[in-house]
């Protein structure tokens, strides 16, 4: 199947699945797990096929801005689908599928490979890249979970309580899921930084310095939040604010330089 056709099919399937999920949510009916998993996996398969030719070449790995965004969104969708049976994450699928649609559209419409060098490194560097993507994916899930938790808390304070809030899991379950995701994301981020120290020649080289700085700062913020949860029982708005702050720093680390170099400086 041609990559463009795979990309279009992936976007159509993601949109259909997201529309179904939103419709079931608004009508306060539980979505069919086999339906959303089947549509999601089929869309992710088409997504992967479309991304393969954009990402891999004999010269190496073309990790441009939109290729990176597309790869991360694919990982997140697959992570959500993998957790579907055990965790209450079905509310996350629709927003991440919409982000995947935007990322796929970017890879089709914008040729960012002209302004980057392909990555052709050893297994250690590729492991560092993979762990970074996984960490970003899990922490992205935690951020969306924190936003939904904030929305749920606000709705529960209103009288009468919004009918939407009845579609959410219990508040305690939502909060437990948030911190489970944060622990997982922080662990993966720790491994990502460790492999970076071990396998990259110079983490503070000019093109890596800001990534290292912001990633380490995000690691400290997430570590502080998890320590505060363990020792001081931090929760609620404090946890949500720190989660968003850490994610913002990771956004700067992962995408800040790519955005500037590929679309502003064109180098």
The answer to whether the beta carbons of residues 219 and 154 sit under 8 Å apart is: no
Q: Which has the minimum average pLDDT: 66-75, 94-103, 114-123, 153-162?
A: 114-123
142 and 259 share a domain? yes
Domain end: 112, 146, 164, which one? 112
- The Cβ of residue 28 has, within 10 Å, a number of other Cβ atoms equal to 10
What does the pLDDT read at residue 167? Answer: 67
CA-based nearest residue to 47, from 92, 97, 83: 97
Q: Which domain holds residue 86?
A: 1-112
pLDDT of 37 > 80? The answer is yes
The alpha helices in the chain, defined as continuous H runs, are: 3-26, 33-55, 65-83, 90-109, 123-157, 171-199, 209-232, 236-251, 257-263
129 and 257 share a domain? yes
106 and 125 share a domain? no
pLDDT of 217 > 90? The answer is yes
Torsion angle, CA of 114/76/180/214, rounded to 10 degrees? 10
Sign of CA dihedral 58, 63, 67, 71: positive
Surface-to-core class of residue 126, CB atoms within 10 Å of its CB (0-12 exposed, 13-18 middle, 19+ buried): middle
82 and 131 share a domain? no
* Phi then psi dihedrals of residue 221, to 5 deg: -65, -45
Report the alpha-carbon distance of residue 73 to residue 81 in Å, rounded: 12
Q: What is the mean pLDDT of residues 42-60?
A: 85
141 and 97 share a domain? no
108 and 125 share a domain? no
Q: Which two tokens stand for residue 54?
A: 């954009």
233 and 127 share a domain? yes
104 and 175 share a domain? no
Domain end: 70, 94, 112, which one? 112
CA-based nearest residue to 255, from 47, 63, 94: 63
For residue 113, the 8-state DSSP code is G
Q: What is the mean pLDDT of residues 132-142?
A: 88
Report the alpha-carbon distance of residue 69 to residue 43 in Å, rounded: 16
| Band (207; pLDDT cuts 50, 70, 90) | low
User: Residues 17-28: pLDDT tens digits?
Assistant: 999 998 888 787
pLDDT of 170 > 90? The answer is no
CA-based nearest residue to 83, from 45, 137, 132: 137
20 and 54 share a domain? yes
- Domain count for the chain: 2
102 and 182 share a domain? no
**Helix (H, G, I), strand (E, B), or coil: what is residue 119?**
strand
101 and 169 share a domain? no
- pTM of this structure: 0.83
What does the pLDDT read at residue 218? Answer: 93
Domain end: 112, 139, 157, which one? 112
139 and 236 share a domain? yes
């Amino acid at each position: 199947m041609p990559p463009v056709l795979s990309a279009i099919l992936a976007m159509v399937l993601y949109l259909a699945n997201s529309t179904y999920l939103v419709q079931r949510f608004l009508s306060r009916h539980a979505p069919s797990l086999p339906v959303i998993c089947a549509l999601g996996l089929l869309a992710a398969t088409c997504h992967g096929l479309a991304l393969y030719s954009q990402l891999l070449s004999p010269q190496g790995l073309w990790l441009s801005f939109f290729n990176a965004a597309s790869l991360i969104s694919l990982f997140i969708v697959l992570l959500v689908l993998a957790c579907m049976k055990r965790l209450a994450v079905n509310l996350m699928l629709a927003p991440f599928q919409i982000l995947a649609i935007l990322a796929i559209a970017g890879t089709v419409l914008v040729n960012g490979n002209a302004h980057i060098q392909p990555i052709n490194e050893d297994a250690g560097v590729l492991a560092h890249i993979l762990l970074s993507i996984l960490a970003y994916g899990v922490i992205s899930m935690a951020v969306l979970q924190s936003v939904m938790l904030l929305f749920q808390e606000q709705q529960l304070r209103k009288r009468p309580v919004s009918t939407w809030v009845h579609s959410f899991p219990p508040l305690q379950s939502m909060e437990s899921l948030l911190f489970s995701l944060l622990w997982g994301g922080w662990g993966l981020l720790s491994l990502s930084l460790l492999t970076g120290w071990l396998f990259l020649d110079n983490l503070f080289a000019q093109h890596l310095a800001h990534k290292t700085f912001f990633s380490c700062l995000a690691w400290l913020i997430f570590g502080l939040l998890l320590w505060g949860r363990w020792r001081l029982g931090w929760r609620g708005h404090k946890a949500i604010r720190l989660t968003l702050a850490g994610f913002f720093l990771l956004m700067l680390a992962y995408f800040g330089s790519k955005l500037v170099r590929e679309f502003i400086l064109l180098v």
